């Protein structure tokens, strides 16, 4: 009987040892256990633009080389670093928005080790609160689902979308006084038109999800080029050198007008965080004015750093001009007369407005 009990005990002990061995060998190690070189910072970081922050890099074993990248730039490199490095990072040379900080290390055996965090850089500017004053009203076709407005000299143009898939996407030259379309070019119902801008007598019309930009001669609307891009197209303007596009997020993409290649991308932030749903765009006196989709608000953006310097409340325009239409959308600036015009989707009115600027934020 004792022999049987000993056998049973041995079997139970053996099963227990096997189970423990299988458990310990199949339990996934944590990321910290895997990383022999890593940031001490556990979470991502939020900081105000212009301020400096310190990062600490820890190593559990001998490291041969170590690189620190901020965004697309290599900012420091070490050979045979110590097991604890503290490094200050300035934010003044960066734009606002989400920036990655990445360490790339190699141990003595040549194995690569990586760790990454995201730093969210907020604007150091509290946006001023601006408003609009209506100086004049003009008729606007309430059949136009307005996506973009633009002037070329004194010639006025509009682009529309096609929410009902009836083939109503168009680019048209508009008679400002009557609101009537003087001439037009259209796209079929497979395309949903978005914003437009005019540079060097060339009209650039983007599309929502078709990932196509069409280029026309201003003089006769003959199509000269078609460019492709990745992602959605919402609004577009230009600063005289680059095309500037929105995609419905907080990002603005700068493109070469000759090739449509991306030159740079910025993110648009206030002192509190990103401004998303950037829609129709207009470039006025060094700043990008952006409709914020579904709101009666317009962000005024520094195109160098992405900081929002002001928010324009255009509620009065919706109150007086929306009719049975939809959201505020459409900004045009006549650089000859120095006048600014605004309207909305399916609105029966277009307004000449004066931007009332306040010195301090509320």
Of the pLDDT bands very low, low, confident and very high (cuts 50, 70, 90), residue 359 is low
41 pLDDT band, cuts 50/70/90, is confident
Read off φ and ψ for residue 147, nearest 5 degrees: -115, -30
pLDDT at residue number 267:
98
- How confident is the model over 126-168, as pLDDT tens digits? 999 999 999 999 999 999 999 999 999 999 999 999 999 999 9
pLDDT at 358: 77
Q: The CATH number of 31-122 is which of 2.60.40.10, 3.30.2400.10, 2.40.110.10, 1.10.800.10? A: 2.60.40.10
Closest by CA to 330, choosing from 353, 302, 303, is 353
Tell me the C-alpha distance between 355 and 333, whole Å: 12
Q: Which one, of 340, 333, 148, lies nearest residue 233 by Cα?
A: 148
Say whether 312 sits in a helix, a strand or coil. strand
> What letter would DSSP give residue 30?
P
Of the listed ranges 11-25, 110-124, 288-302, 313-327, the least confidently predicted one is: 11-25
pTM over 0.85: yes
What is the spatial distance between Cα 96 and Cα 90, in angstroms, rounded to a whole number?
12
Q: Residue 272 is inside which H or E element, if any?
A: none
The pLDDT tens digits of the residues spanning 3-20 come to 444 434 444 444 444 444
Q: Return the pLDDT at 284.
A: 98
Long-range pairs of 338-343 with CB within 8 A, sequence gap ≥ 24? 339/135, 340/282, 340/284, 341/138, 341/149, 341/176, 342/132, 342/314, 342/317, 343/140, 343/146, 343/149, 343/317
CB–CB of 132/358 below 8 Å? no
**Which residues pair with residue 274 across a beta bridge?**
269
Numbered ranges of CATH 2.60.40.10 in the chain: 31-122
Summarised one tens digit per residue, pLDDT across range 208-252 is 999 999 999 999 999 999 999 999 999 999 999 999 999 999 999
Q: What is the pLDDT of residue 42?
A: 75
Q: What is the pLDDT of residues 314-356, one digit of tens each?
A: 999 999 999 999 999 999 999 999 999 999 999 999 999 999 9
Q: What is the percent of the chain where pLDDT is above 70?
A: 90
Mean pLDDT of 181-204: 97
**Mode of pairing for the β-strands spanning 128-139 and 308-313:** parallel
Distance CA(177)–CA(45), nearest Å, equals 53
Residue range(s) of every CATH 2.120.10.30 domain in the chain: 128-356
Judge contact between 250 and 107, C-beta under 8 A.
no
Give the pLDDT confidence score for residue 70 in this predicted structure.
95
Phi, psi of 238, rounded to the nearest 5 degrees: -150, 155
CATH topology of domain 128-356: Neuraminidase (2.120.10)
What mean pLDDT is reported for the chain?
A: 91
pLDDT for res 34? 63
Mean pLDDT, residues 263-292: 98
Instruction: Show the tokens assigned to 65.
Output: 């080389």
List, edge to edge, every strand of the sheet that includes 251-255. Answer: 236-238, 243-246, 251-255, 262-267
The two three-digit tokens of residue 304, written as one number: 């160098």
> Average of pLDDT values for 89-104?
94
Rg (CA), the chain: 29
Find tokens 């006549």 and name the residue.
334
Q: In what order do the strands lie in the sheet with 45-48?
A: 45-48, 112-122, 97-107, 63-70, 73-79
Nearest-angstrom CA–CA distance, 122 and 47 = 6
Residue 44 has pLDDT above 80, yes or no: yes
């Amino acid at each position: 009987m004792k022999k049987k009990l000993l056998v049973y005990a041995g079997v139970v002990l053996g099963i227990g040892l096997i189970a423990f061995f299988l458990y310990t060998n199949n339990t996934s190690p944590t990321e910290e256990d895997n990383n022999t070189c890593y940031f001490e910072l556990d979470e991502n970081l939020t900081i105000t633009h212009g301020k400096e922050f310190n990062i600490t890099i820890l190593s559990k074993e001998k490291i041969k080389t170590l690189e620190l990248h901020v965004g697309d730039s290599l900012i420091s490199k070490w050979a045979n670093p110590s097991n604890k490095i503290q490094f200050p990072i300035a934010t003044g040379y960066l734009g606002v928005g989400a920036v990655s900080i990445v360490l790339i290390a190699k141990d003595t055996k040549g194995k690569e080790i990586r760790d990454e965090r995201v730093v969210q850089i907020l604007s150091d500017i509290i946006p001023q609160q601006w408003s609009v004053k209506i100086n004049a009203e003009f008729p606007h076709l309430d059949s136009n689902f307005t996506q973009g407005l633009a002037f070329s000299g004194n010639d006025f143009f509009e682009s529309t979308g096609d929410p009902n898939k009836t083939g109503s996407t168009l680019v048209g030259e508009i008679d400002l006084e009557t609101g009537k379309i003087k001439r037009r070019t259209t796209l079929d119902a497979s395309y949903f038109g978005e914003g437009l801008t005019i540079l060097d007598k060339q009209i650039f019309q983007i599309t929502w999800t078709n990932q196509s930009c069409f280029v026309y001669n201003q003089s006769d609307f003959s199509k000269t080029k078609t460019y492709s891009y990745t992602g959605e197209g919402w609004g577009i303007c230009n600063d005289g050198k680059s095309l500037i596009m929105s995609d419905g997020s907080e990002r603005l993409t700068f493109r070469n007008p000759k090739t449509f290649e991306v030159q740079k991308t910025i993110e648009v932030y206030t002192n509190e965080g990103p401004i998303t749903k950037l829609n129709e765009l207009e470039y006025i006196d060094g700043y990008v004015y952006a409709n914020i989709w579904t709101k009666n608000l317009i962000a005024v953006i520094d195109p160098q750093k992405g900081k929002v310097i002001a928010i324009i409340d255009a509620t009065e325009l919706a109150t007086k001009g929306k009719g049975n239409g939809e959201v505020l959308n459409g900004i045009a600036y006549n650089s000859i007369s120095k006048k600014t015009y605004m309207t909305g989707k399916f609105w029966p009115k277009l307004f000449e407005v004066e931007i009332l600027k306040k010195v301090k934020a509320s």
